[in-house]
Structure 1
Amino acid sequence: MAGRLPGGLLLRRENPGKASFLELFFDLAFIFALTRLSRALLDDPSINGGFEALLMLAALWWVWFVTAWSADWFDPRAPLIVVLLLWTMFGGLLMAAAVPTTFDEHAMVFAIAYVAIHLGRAAILIPALRGHPLQVRSLRVAVWFAISGVLWVVGAAVTPAREVLWALALLLEYSLARLRWPFPWLGRSTWPELQVNARHLSERYQQIFIIALGELILIAGVTYSASSLDRDSTLAFALAFVTAVALARLYLVPAGGRLGARIEAEGPSGSKLTLMAGYLHLVMIAGVLATSVAMEMTIGHPEEHNTGQTTVGVIGPALFLTARILLAMMVDGSRPWARLVGVPAIIVGGLATVRSPQLVNSAVVAGVLLLIVLFDAMPGLRRFIRKSGKSDAPDQRRHG
């Protein structure tokens, strides 16, 4: 669907897929949001605190994802799209600022900012798309966001029902996207109407995941800087760095760089894969966030025993690995055995060290992740050795 949209908005089907400067600038709001979320989870690492952090993360992720999907269709240099991205960025910053007290006195700030982002996007795009088929698509999405917005605002006003109503709102929004936003009299979007620039969205996923890893390193560095810089804190900081490197490698290899090509190969139906990849990236980022909180606890108090640290320290990598396995299966059908074994290994290791100091638990988790990386690399290493042996064989015969 190439062509010129009303108001000078250009579809980006011919674009090589590079993210614009403004899109990267928009991601800064997500960095701030992740730091606030990690602080909220650190303050309350209980099951209830984890559930509340997950609700806030899911809302913030949905803002990022829908904005990235929308930006994929239009020229980011168009004044209207610049306004849209800045509007969303400011709303995201308001949501992030409210995170530490979202379930206390600032629930309404979080909810209204969230609803205003989605309805503001519709208010910007729908008039500009007048006469174009994409206008109906945007209208369907806007109607459903207006309906779910009621749940958000009522949930903010009614404290006892807040978690339930917000969870229902998110479940509604995430499900409707998979169902292509059906609505009476407006029908539902077709997959071609939702088709994306595969390389652009794939690159955006990688960028936002790197930002999540950056938050882990940032929080680890700040916590270590505020510590006494003794031996145990230094070792904990080193484990945080090793963990971040392992997570980055496990994300990128083997299927991390092939997502865009697979979406392109699927054609219009590749939108399904893009959407499912978005859901799985939410789970992976949740895993990285939990890992970040666990590492912060370990660096700050390496010799202490903390059940909360053990819980988030195990759940985080396990969530990441599970979602990463599912993504690999979707992209190329692979079932990496090392990762499949790694998930229960991390859980068992966490249970075995539940009464040990936090430093021991972090070392076990980092060790399992490193082993997975090594086992993942072994087939490629063996192929490299075989190729090197073959290339050296003629020289050995000449000199023998």
Structure 2
Amino acid sequence: MTVPPRTASSAAAAAVPIAASASSASVASAGEPALKVAPLELFLDLVFVFTVTQLTGSLAHHLTPGGLAQVMVMLALIWWMYDAFIWLTNAMPPSTHGRRGLLMLAMGAFLVISLSVPHAFQGSGAAFGWAYLVVVLLHTGMFGAAGVAPESVLRMGAANLALGGLVVAGGYLTGTVQLVFWTAAFAMQYVTQRAARLPAFRLRSDHFVERHGLIMIIAFGESVIAIGVGAGALGLGPSLIAVALLSLSVCVGLWWAYFGHDDDARAEHHMAALADAERNRAAVLVYYLGHFGLLLGVLLFAAGVKAAVAHPGAASTLPQAAALSGGVALYLIVNAAIRRFFALRPNRARLLGAALILAAVPLGASVSATDQVGAVAAVLAGVFAYEARRRSVGDFERD
């Protein structure tokens, strides 16, 4: 499915408030049916749940600079192709049996990638690499069959195949050399963006923004799962209930930072008001790179909270405490940057909150995990209460 070009310029979108952008979006969308996320896309997300769980588990067991680097590279590679399938279903919804069958094949390949994550740098890298190459081939073939911007798809497919080749080659190596190969594959993503000539693709903002919002809910769900996994076989006493509820409060805070005040709908209106080329560049900047940062923040928090719930009354190790606070702080910083891009305010309180949350690391490392989680939850509550007060008096446009 292709979309008629929008005529609103990016400069005009930046110069008017969000309410005006919403009006522009309505005009731009007149006459075309809404493109909603298909049930099969949600089914595909079940595999991404498992992927996030596997990455969180790997990080929790290797909370070292090297372990973090490995998880970051794997997340970047997986998210690149997963996000590429969001672009694909935006152009050609899974409305036929053939398309659905190919998406299910991709689901199987993503599952193999997820299964190989825990030992991708200790022996299962080859499985990761070949499954990744299958995902690339399916994506390129399906995009080619859609007949959307054939020259751009050819260029994109060639660049992605080169990227996939690096992942396959690196999968047969180990240690630092493997990490170098996969980091080079990560760097190839920039080449792919340039080769694909993104302005040739016409994104539907309604589907694209909704799809990424659902992905974030999936990620928040992993944090909730981490609470349950951390609890394990512990007896259900007051300390466990307290740290679990406080951890859930932090998850709610992350959700509110993304969806509060209909921020996702306002972002959709802003995207719809952009010209095609600007919208596509925003899609890469905000919804690939920006959401990579958000997902990494959630992963770090989930790894930290798993340890916190497992030992609620004891102090965490410094890496565990740093992961818990660092993940939430990273999430807030990236979230504020995304909101600034979409002209959403206020934001300064979120940046100050990120600094205060980082300051809670010594609390978890020297006092107790419960105290640290409680402090993080309190900071988030304070940030959003301050924002609500600013909104109630209409004093937030300068922020």
Same fold? TM cut 0.5: yes
- The answer to whether the aligner puts 1:149 opposite 2:164 as a matched pair is yes
Report matched runs for 1:324-335 at 5 Å: 324-332=335-343, 334=345
Alpha-carbon separation, structure 1, partners of 2:56 and 2:243: 18
Report matched runs for 1:301-340 at 5 Å: 301-305=311-315, 306-332=317-343, 334=345, 336-340=347-351
1:382 deviates by 4.2
1:144 deviates by 0.5
Where 1:138 maps in the other structure, the secondary structure is: helix
Q: 1:117 aligns with which of 132, 135, 142?
A: 135
Query: Given the superposition, is the C-alpha separation of residues 150 and 349 from structure 1 closer, same or farther in structure 2, using an over 3 Å criterion?
Result: same
1:61 deviates by 1.1
Alpha-carbon separation, structure 1, partners of 2:343 and 2:249: 27
Name 1:238's counterpart in structure 2.
245
Alpha-carbon separation, structure 2, partners of 1:177 and 1:343: 33
- Aligned residues of 1:52 and 1:163 also touching (Cα < 8 A): yes
Query: Structure 2: which amino acid aligns with 1:214?
Result: G
- The answer to whether the aligner puts 1:195 opposite 2:195 as a matched pair is no
- Aligned residues of 2:300 and 2:324 also touching (Cα < 8 A): yes
1:100 deviates by 0.9
- Aligned residues of 1:297 and 1:309 also touching (Cα < 8 A): yes
Deviations 1:319-369 (A, max 9, x none): 101110110011116451211211211112224553222222222222211
Q: 1:257 aligns with which of 232, 248, 265?
A: 265
Query: Structure 2: which amino acid aligns with 1:112?
Result: W
Where 1:23 maps in the other structure, the secondary structure is: helix
Alpha-carbon separation, structure 2, partners of 1:34 and 1:197: 26
1:314 deviates by 1.6
- Aligned residues of 1:263 and 1:271 also touching (Cα < 8 A): no
Alpha-carbon separation, structure 2, partners of 1:171 and 1:210: 28
Alpha-carbon separation, structure 2, partners of 1:84 and 1:46: 38
Alpha-carbon separation, structure 2, partners of 1:39 and 1:353: 20
1:272 deviates by 1.1
Of the structure 1 ranges 75-84 and 274-283, higher mean CA displacement relative to structure 2 is found in 75-84
Report matched runs for 1:27-176 at 5 Å: 27-126=45-144, 128-129=145-146, 132=147, 134-160=149-175, 161-173=177-189, 175-176=190-191
1:303 deviates by 2.3
- Aligned residues of 2:198 and 2:280 also touching (Cα < 8 A): no
Name 1:388's counterpart in structure 2.
none
Where 1:82 maps in the other structure, the secondary structure is: helix
Where 2:360 maps in the other structure, the secondary structure is: helix
Deviations 1:191-213 (A, max 9, x none): 1x222000100000110000100
Alpha-carbon separation, structure 1, partners of 2:33 and 2:153: 22
1:133 deviates by 5.7
**TM-score normalised by length of structure 2:** 0.86
- Aligned residues of 1:291 and 1:313 also touching (Cα < 8 A): yes
Name 1:294's counterpart in structure 2.
304
Report matched runs for 1:244-393 at 5 Å: 244-254=251-261, 255-268=263-276, 269-278=278-287, 279-305=289-315, 306-332=317-343, 334=345, 336-351=347-362, 353-382=364-393
Alpha-carbon separation, structure 2, partners of 1:350 and 1:50: 18
1:249 deviates by 0.5
CA RMSD of aligned residues (A): 2.0
Of the structure 1 ranges 278-287 and 246-255, higher mean CA displacement relative to structure 2 is found in 246-255
Name 1:398's counterpart in structure 2.
none
Report matched runs for 1:12-23 at 5 Å: 14-23=32-41
Unmatched segments (≥5 aa) in structure 1 = 4-12, 182-187, 384-400
Look at both structures and tell me which one has the larger radius of gyration over its CA atoms. Answer: 1
1:297 deviates by 0.7
1:29 deviates by 0.6
Alpha-carbon separation, structure 2, partners of 1:176 and 1:37: 26
**TM-score normalised by length of structure 1:** 0.86
Alpha-carbon separation, structure 1, partners of 2:346 and 2:71: 30
- Aligned residues of 2:70 and 2:179 also touching (Cα < 8 A): yes
Unmatched segments (≥5 aa) in structure 2 = 5-30, 395-399
1:271 deviates by 1.1
Query: Structure 2: which amino acid aligns with 1:304?
Result: A
